Amino acid sequence: MTPAPPEPAEAETAALLAALRLQLDWGADEALAEAPLDRLAAPPPRPVEADPAAPQAPQPPPPPAARPRRAPAVAVPLPLAAAASLAAGAQSLEALREAMAQVDTPLRETATNLVFADGRPGAPLMLLGEAPGADEDRQGKPFVGQSGQLLDRMLASIGLDRHGEDAHNSFYISNILPWRPPGNRTPTDAEITLFLPFVLRHIALARPKRLVLLGGVAAKSLLRARDGITRLRGRWHELPTESGPLPALPTWHPAYLLRNPAAKRESWADLILLRRSIEAEKDVPVSPQ
């Protein structure tokens, strides 16, 4: 006996379940709409488009644009003039150090310590470098890292000691910038210009008889030269000061020598020039009073 055919409602339900099972087998696991779409319903009425030939109702004019308010005038600070004034007012090395600490510069935000100077104040020889490095920033003294240790050995080879008891054979050392630039980058022209009055005042207060300029930044900044250190080194130059021209000898920075050991031969020639200048001063007879 054959089974009776299913009722219409049961047949429709079975077809829907079969279709749903097929979609699940295909990987469908969610609906694309919140409610099923009635495709048998009448479509919604289309909006009536305006006749371009018909007269249009006048539109209200747009509101006038608001004029931007002008910011009140603010006095622009003159850091260069203020720096020059601070430097000129320092009457001692300690006062100069305090004045340099007052200079408002972004370098202070990334540095740890102000690096002023080291060695023997009043020594006849003063050395000027570029800017502090990481070791100098931590200790607050110039040329105490690897390049500074190389410099001390180089100067010791011609009888000079940073902290020597004999002032004639000792030296005083500082930098163009007192703060370490981020990442040991090269100082910018603006930073050099800002601190140059302090460097010149530093020289005036230290009163050396000769300078050694370590690297291109120090040499070009003080000598106002366009040539690089390659052409400047190997001979004496004159730095104009209030008390007269001051002999200045540019040479390679010791950090450059660590990267380029072959240049040590040229630095040794510069040290010989320096030693001869010191010895020549010793041989100058003292005029009777």
pLDDT, position 77? 44
Where are any strands of DSSP class E within the chain?
117-119, 125-129, 172-175, 210-214, 237-239, 246-251
Mean pLDDT, residues 145-168 taken together: 95
Give the model confidence (pLDDT) of 51-102 as tens digits.
556 556 666 666 666 555 554 443 334 468 888 899 999 999 999 999 999 9
Give the model confidence (pLDDT) of 102-151 as tens digits.
998 999 999 999 999 999 999 999 999 999 999 999 999 999 999 999 99
Quick one: angle between helices 93-101 and 189-206, nearest 10?
A: 160
| Percent of the residues in the chain that have a pLDDT greater than 70, as a whole number | 73
pLDDT, position 62? 64
pLDDT, position 71? 44
- Give me the half-sphere count of Cα atoms (radius 13 Å) on the Cβ side of residue 62: 3
Integer-rounded Cα Rg, in Å, for the chain is: 40
Q: Which range (204-213, 251-260, 275-284) has the least confidence?
A: 275-284
Give the model confidence (pLDDT) of 94-108 as tens digits.
999 999 999 989 999
**What does pTM read for this prediction?**
0.71
| Percent of the residues in the chain that have a pLDDT greater than 90, as a whole number | 64
Band (14; pLDDT cuts 50, 70, 90): confident
Mean pLDDT, residues 266-273 taken together: 97
Measured CA to CA, the distance from residue 57 to residue 238 in angstroms comes to 85
